């Protein structure tokens, strides 16, 4: 192999910037702007650019659009909506701002980004709700109260993730200036002889053909890194014990590829230790590797460790429950509930039919979904102490009857369904094993208020923008995430990046 070829190969493997003069791709295309990633952030940016008539190439590694958003509940954190007003909910940007700053504070770290939090809480009604409504997207009537919020502001889109993504995609496709290129892997950014960004090099996966998409502006919207186990472990918070087993619950392309590509051109990474991982990871029955997980739970269950004992207030959110889970032996627990609670068992993004078929009636599920006619037999099936589990369930039932959880204060502790539990007494009984679930990234590529990517000196890298989870949602969450801010933050940063890129391109067009 010649020196030039070996250098190029290593550059591609390492995700480095490839100078255009080093070696031409087999093919090339020219556009005004390239958007890398057809998830909710990339689509939001694309829509903004399409409104201004710019020629946009959308590069997507998968054969379909939508990314992680399509597998979500399609719920967004929004402030001051008609749904809130109709339900008698009093909310305001200031109330929301205080919630964001309080919930995500980190005495030992940077916490939420004040400017971005202010922008989000002031503008989420206009930037998210009004915009989506204009695209024909509608919400369920009653917003939901989620942990960390003073009032209900979790708005579920009718049709869940697909109901959110599909109208936006259709709106982008209607523009004659937008082209989608599926099955293309982004390899590296390209610089010209003058050092300016000139586009991105890709590999078409079906035939391994190298294609350069040339443009003076590139928007990276490649998602987070929670699908990359090595990155998750590498950036694990030093104050938390590393679990023996972590299931992957992020999108299959949330591998940190955009982080590598951006970092190779000098981008700064920030707050990578802020990871929003769930305590409700259920091994996916359809994954033969055993590495992928689903976000699942039963609101009526109690959680017991390997000793058959409860260890946490199950009604609290992952900010509280996750640190307690990873302290338990083996970093695992069993959720125990009865047949009356089975119908309330919930898997995020799945239909009830999929739940029934994929979990309780699936042969592959039986290693982590146990059922038995008695609690004692259930304990044996799950590998727990029959005496300990029987005592735990009996004690729980007594506390439900008395209305007082003397162990962890769960009963009537807060305004969630979890804090209004029932007795576990109707056979058959179930025990479902759970593990830590790597889910979302709250740190990433550093950006300014225009979503321009910043280098280590905090200066914008000309022509390069980033949006969505790649940026850690612009730091609006700090140490802990308010649910609904990932889709909401992806939309908002995507729109900001698209508008800023359009403004830069318009300046370049001016004689």
134 and 237 housed in the same domain: yes
**Parallel/antiparallel/unpaired status of strands 346-347 and 369-372:** unpaired
Tokens 């209607």 locate to: 174
The pLDDT score that the predictor gives to residue 357 is 56
Tokens 């109709």 locate to: 86
Residues 6+ apart with CB under 8 A from 317: 146, 147, 148, 483
424 and 447 housed in the same domain: no
Token output for 310: 């409860």
User: pLDDT tens for residues 124-152?
Assistant: 999 999 999 999 999 999 999 998 999 99
User: What's the average model confidence in pLDDT over 298-308?
Assistant: 95
In a domain, 60, yes or no: no
291 and 416 housed in the same domain: yes
Q: What is the rounded distance in angstroms from the CA atom of residue 332 to the CA atom of residue 51? A: 49
In a domain, 481, yes or no: yes
431 and 446 housed in the same domain: no
Rounded to 5°, the CA angle 159-160-164 comes to 85
The pLDDT score that the predictor gives to residue 4 is 38
The pLDDT score that the predictor gives to residue 377 is 98
49 vs 65, 127, 177, 378, CA distance in Å?
Answer: 17, 15, 9, 57
| Proportion of the chain above pLDDT 90, given as a percent | 80
Sign of the CA dihedral with 264 first, then 270, 272, and 276 last:
negative
Q: What's the number of domains the chain is made of?
A: 2
Domain boundary pick from 438, 468, 492? 438
User: What's the average model confidence in pLDDT over 483-492?
Assistant: 97
Tokens 């162990």 locate to: 407
User: pLDDT tens for residues 214-251?
Assistant: 999 999 999 999 999 999 999 999 989 999 899 999 98
503 and 428 housed in the same domain: no
CATH number at residue 374: 3.90.700.10
H-run or E-run covering 468:
none
Token output for 503: 């403004």
The pLDDT score that the predictor gives to residue 358 is 62
**Parallel/antiparallel/unpaired status of strands 184-191 and 429-441:** unpaired
Domain boundary pick from 438, 468, 483? 438
In a domain, 316, yes or no: yes
Q: What is the rounded distance in angstroms from the CA atom of residue 83 to the CA atom of residue 98? A: 21
User: pLDDT tens for residues 424-481?
Assistant: 999 999 999 999 999 999 999 999 999 999 999 999 999 999 999 999 999 999 999 9
The pLDDT score that the predictor gives to residue 37 is 98
In a domain, 218, yes or no: no
User: pLDDT tens for residues 393-429?
Assistant: 999 999 999 999 999 999 988 777 677 899 999 999 9
In a domain, 99, yes or no: yes
User: pLDDT tens for residues 329-349?
Assistant: 999 999 999 999 998 888 886
Residues 277 and 246 sit within 8 Å (Cβ to Cβ): yes
What dihedral angle (degrees, nearest 10) is formed by the CA atoms of 310, 314, 319, 322?
40
Q: What is the rounded distance in angstroms from the CA atom of residue 190 to the CA atom of residue 199? A: 5
User: What's the average model confidence in pLDDT over 155-176?
Assistant: 97
Is the pLDDT at 86 greater than 60? The verdict is yes
The pLDDT score that the predictor gives to residue 420 is 84
Band (29; pLDDT cuts 50, 70, 90): very high
| Proportion of the chain above pLDDT 70, given as a percent | 92
The 3 state secondary structure assigned to 4-50 is HHHHHHHHHHCCCCEECCCCCCCEEEECCEEEECCEHHHHHHHHHHH
CATH number at residue 89: 3.50.50.60
244 and 311 housed in the same domain: no
Among 172, 161, 206, 169, CA closest to 48: 172
pTM of the model: 0.91
User: pLDDT tens for residues 176-219?
Assistant: 999 999 999 999 999 988 889 999 999 999 999 999 999 999 99
419 and 466 housed in the same domain: no
Helix (H, G, I), strand (E, B) or coil at 350: coil
Residue 509 burial class via C-beta count within 10 angstroms: exposed 0-12, middle 13-18, buried 19 and up? exposed
Residues 221 and 41 sit within 8 Å (Cβ to Cβ): yes
Query: According to the per-residue pLDDT averaged within each range, which of 81-90, 105-114, 243-252 is highest?
Result: 81-90
269 and 123 housed in the same domain: yes
Q: How high does pLDDT run on average in the chain? A: 91
333 and 288 housed in the same domain: yes
Token output for 212: 């350069």
463 and 406 housed in the same domain: no
Q: What is the rounded distance in angstroms from the CA atom of residue 436 to the CA atom of residue 138? A: 33
Is the pLDDT at 13 greater than 50? The verdict is no
In a domain, 18, yes or no: no
In a domain, 118, yes or no: yes
In a domain, 193, yes or no: no
Q: What is the rounded distance in angstroms from the CA atom of residue 232 to the CA atom of residue 277? A: 10
Q: How many helices (H) and strands (E) does the chain have?
A: 15, 23
380 and 255 housed in the same domain: no
284 and 247 housed in the same domain: no
The pLDDT score that the predictor gives to residue 355 is 57
Q: Which domain holds residue 240?
A: 67-173+225-274+442-509
Q: Higher confidence at residue 9 or residue 336?
A: 336
Domain boundary pick from 403, 438, 473? 438
Q: What is the rounded distance in angstroms from the CA atom of residue 452 to the CA atom of residue 501? A: 9
């Amino acid at each position: 192999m010649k020196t030039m070829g070996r250098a190029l190969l290593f550059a591609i493997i390492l995700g480095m910037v490839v100078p255009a003069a080093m070696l031409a791709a087999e093919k090339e295309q020219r556009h005004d702007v390239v958007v890398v990633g057809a998830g909710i952030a990339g689509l939001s940016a694309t829509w903004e650019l399409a409104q201004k008539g710019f020629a946009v190439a959308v590069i997507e590694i998968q054969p379909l659009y939508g990314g992680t958003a399509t597998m979500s509940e399609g719920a967004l954190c929004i402030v001051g909506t008609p749904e809130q007003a109709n339900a008698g909910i009093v909310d305001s940007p200031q109330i929301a701002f205080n919630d964001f700053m309080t919930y995500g504070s980190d005495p030992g770290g940077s916490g939420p980004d004040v400017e971005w939090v202010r922008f989000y809480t002031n503008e989420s009604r206009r930037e998210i709700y009004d915009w989506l409504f204009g695209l024909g997207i509608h919400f369920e009537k009653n917003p939901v109260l989620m942990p960390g919020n003073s009032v209900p502001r979790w708005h579920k889109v009718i049709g869940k993730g697909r109901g959110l993504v599909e109208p936006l995609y259709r709106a982008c496709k209607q523009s004659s200036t937008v082209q989608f290129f599926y099955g293309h892997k982004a390899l590296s950014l390209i610089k010209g002889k003058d050092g300016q960004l000139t586009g991105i090099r890709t590999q078409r996966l079906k035939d391994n053909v190298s294609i350069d998409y040339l443009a003076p502006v590139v928007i990276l919207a490649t998602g987070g890194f929670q699908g990359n186990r090595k990155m998750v472990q590498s950036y694990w918070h030093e104050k938390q014990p590393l679990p023996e087993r972590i299931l992957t619950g992020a999108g299959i392309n949330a591998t940190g590829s955009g982080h590598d590509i951006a970092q190779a051109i000098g981008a700064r990474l920030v707050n990578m230790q802020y990871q929003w991982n769930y305590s409700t990871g259920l091994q996916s029955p359809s994954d033969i590797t055993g590495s992928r997980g689903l976000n699942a739970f039963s609101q009526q269950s109690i959680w017991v460790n390997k000793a058959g004992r409860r260890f946490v207030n199950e009604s609290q959110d992952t900010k509280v429950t996750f640190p307690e889970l990873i302290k338990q032996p083996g970093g695992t627990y069993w959720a125990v509930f009865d047949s009356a609670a089975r119908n309330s068992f919930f898997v995020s993004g799945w239909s009830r039919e999929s739940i029934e078929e994929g979990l309780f009636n699936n042969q592959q599920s039986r290693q982590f979904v146990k059922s038995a006619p008695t609690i004692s037999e259930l304990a044996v099936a799950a590998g727990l102490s029959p005496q300990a589990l029987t005592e735990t369930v009996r004690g729980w039932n007594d506390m439900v009857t008395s209305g007082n959880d003397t162990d962890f204060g769960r009963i009537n502790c807060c305004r969630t369904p979890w804090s209004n539990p029932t007795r576990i007494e109707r056979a058959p009984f179930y025990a479902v094993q759970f593990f830590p679930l790597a889910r979302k990234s709250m740190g990433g590529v550093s950006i300014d208020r225009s979503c321009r990517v910043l280098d280590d000196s905090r200066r914008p890298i000309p022509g390069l923008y980033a949006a969505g989870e790649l940026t850690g949602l612009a730091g609006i969450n700090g140490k802990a995430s308010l649910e609904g801010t990932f889709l909401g933050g992806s939309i908002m940063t995507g729109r900001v990046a698209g508008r800023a890129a359009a403004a830069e391109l318009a300046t370049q067009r001016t004689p």
